[in-house]
Chains A and B, each alone.
Chain A
């Protein structure tokens, strides 16, 4: 399972590289940092979804609130079979159905995101309705750490705990950077885990690039929390993870790869693949 997940994560990274080279540009940093999170959700036996039937009533919902990282989301959805992998080539091209920020018109995308701070409140509403109906579906929401500077996130965090939404799971891609620099320099969010705890959430920390750890944590999320509490997984990641020149910097928050950078990136990912096998 682990090897298989690592392999999928590598494939997603290659898609991100291709998108950042062949399109007008992509949010490389946040896409690379969210890769293992998405891999675990879609391929680690976490999300109950049916790519052949995206609107299946009994599915789990994934709200991808950090919509800037659409390259990673589209790559994961394509690999999962929601739409053909070849379609990724149309990313941000005229006539494409894959805009820079995820649109609900894309199969598998539950909510159009990109304007930050929207995902958690909407997830609260979804979870509230399902809990009311006694539905077994769960709602997962992937948040960026910079995004957690939005007040609406904490309004929603407060409401989720108040209404005991234990069918709601947030995963924060805690890569430590936002567009202007390290989150702690731009607008400090630490002590981050304490904030969630203070808002009444069960908090789990995990190495966000250890795909096995993320998967384990998400698969056993119910063991981590008391009934009646929402849970948040804080995935420690590095921005731009996986490539020597994009890692741990905000420089590649967004950008377009040159042909040389594309070649170098693919080479590094090939070496990583060999090392992992």
Chain B
């Protein structure tokens, strides 16, 4: 059960209408998940005067629009993440709703203890929109790669952890965070990524979307690129005669146990896909549920348990980790042959 923050309750259709145009419009604008999340924050702030936007020196793709429209509800807290999170929690304790926009790794690692105590323990209305997640900042090197955030966020009691698959999902999930009580972590990326959803998409806390039905195996993915790549992998697998179920597990916590169990029972084999360490993220979540309720093989695809020192492009990083559609399809075939 989620509690709705009363003053900002809006009918779902109003929220959908918030997106100026359609997913095509978003694509045409070249908007990534970070931008549509900021857009959703701005739109939510128009309805809800309690919403503040805090950020840690993010540059142009920070919040100029929010700052221009609500200068007195926008605060750049500089390069000081412990205070950024503490301040957001203090605002929320006093009745505000604080959006924190910063790199996911800095919020959840540098300021992890502030997130644990000031945000999670106090159940404050702090919504952390973490950017630069996964391996998107490819050439920036390991200091700017972030494959640990889901593991950290989901172990914090009471933290809702959402990973949108594209910029449409990022808009909706941000809007949900704005109107739902409690602490949220939103996993955003960096660059525009392939679209998965159209204007009919719906999302809820604890929800999951079955994007394709199949009986041979299930690809359970979450996050930018990963869901889109899983869908493309499903196409490749279909060409090989495999009928693949594809699930977008965008709500990693609370997680939709039913869809995982149903996938296990229906297809007998699950392959998980995430741009996150193979430890502690989507794969671990799925494996835990499966082990407890419907034991079937779970193959986890994700970032290898190592820092990626080698300079290479984002796409090459994904390829090396087997997270491109071809890599996912290969692993799926391999698992299918092994287990079925």
What A residues does B117 contact at CB under 8 A?
112, 115, 118
CB pair B82 A121 closer than 8 Å = yes
| Interface SS of chain B | helix
Q: A125-B91, A152-B114 are in contact. Are A118 and B96 (CB under 8 A)?
A: no
CB pair B86 A132 closer than 8 Å = no
Which of B78, B93, B95, B118 lies in contact with A159, CB distance below 8 A?
B78
CB pair B114 A129 closer than 8 Å = no
A interface residues (Cβ-Cβ under 8 A, vs B): 104, 110-112, 115, 117-118, 120-130, 132, 151-152, 155-156, 158-159, 162-163
| Any A CB within 8 A of the CB of B333 | no
* Minimum C-beta distance from A130 to chain B (A): 6
Q: Which of B52, B77, B85, B89 has the most CB of A within 10 A?
A: B77
A155 to B80, CA, bound (A): 6
B interface residues (Cβ-Cβ under 8 A, vs A): 52, 72-73, 75, 77-78, 80, 82-83, 85-96, 98, 113-114, 117-118, 121-122
CB pair B121 A156 closer than 8 Å = no
Q: A111-B122, A118-B118, A132-B73 are in contact. Are A125 and B80 (CB under 8 A)?
A: no
CB pair A128 B78 closer than 8 Å = no
Report, nearest first, the 4 A-B pairs whose CB atoms are least far apart: A125-B90, A121-B86, A155-B83, A155-B80
What B residues does A123 contact at CB under 8 A?
90
7 A-B pairs within 8 Å (CB atoms) are namely A111-B122, A112-B117, A125-B94, A129-B94, A152-B82, A152-B114, A163-B75
What A residues does B118 contact at CB under 8 A?
111, 118, 121-122
What A residues does B94 contact at CB under 8 A?
125-126, 129-130
Q: A128-B75, A158-B80, A163-B75 are in contact. Are A122 and B87 (CB under 8 A)?
A: yes
Number of cross-chain contacts by CB at 8 Å? 85
What B residues does A115 contact at CB under 8 A?
113, 117
* Minimum C-beta distance from A116 to chain B (A): 10
What B residues does A132 contact at CB under 8 A?
72-73
CB pair B92 A121 closer than 8 Å = no
What B residues does A122 contact at CB under 8 A?
86-87, 89-90, 93, 118
A239 to B334, CA, bound (A): 67
Which of A120, A126, A152, A158 lies in contact with B78, CB distance below 8 A?
A158
Which of A125, A162, A163 lies in contact with B89, CB distance below 8 A?
A125
* Minimum C-beta distance from A164 to chain B (A): 12
CB pair B91 A152 closer than 8 Å = no
CB pair B83 A121 closer than 8 Å = yes
What B residues does A155 contact at CB under 8 A?
80, 82-83
What A residues does B80 contact at CB under 8 A?
155, 158-159
A151 to B84, CA, bound (A): 13
* Minimum C-beta distance from A264 to chain B (A): 38
* Minimum C-beta distance from B94 to chain A (A): 4
What B residues does A159 contact at CB under 8 A?
77-78, 80, 83, 87
A8 to B276, CA, bound (A): 57
A162 to B78, CA, bound (A): 10
Q: A125-B88, A155-B80, A159-B87 are in contact. Are A118 and B72 (CB under 8 A)?
A: no
CB pair A117 B90 closer than 8 Å = no
CB pair A118 B86 closer than 8 Å = yes
What A residues does B92 contact at CB under 8 A?
125
Which of B72, B93, B113 lies in contact with A111, CB distance below 8 A?
B93
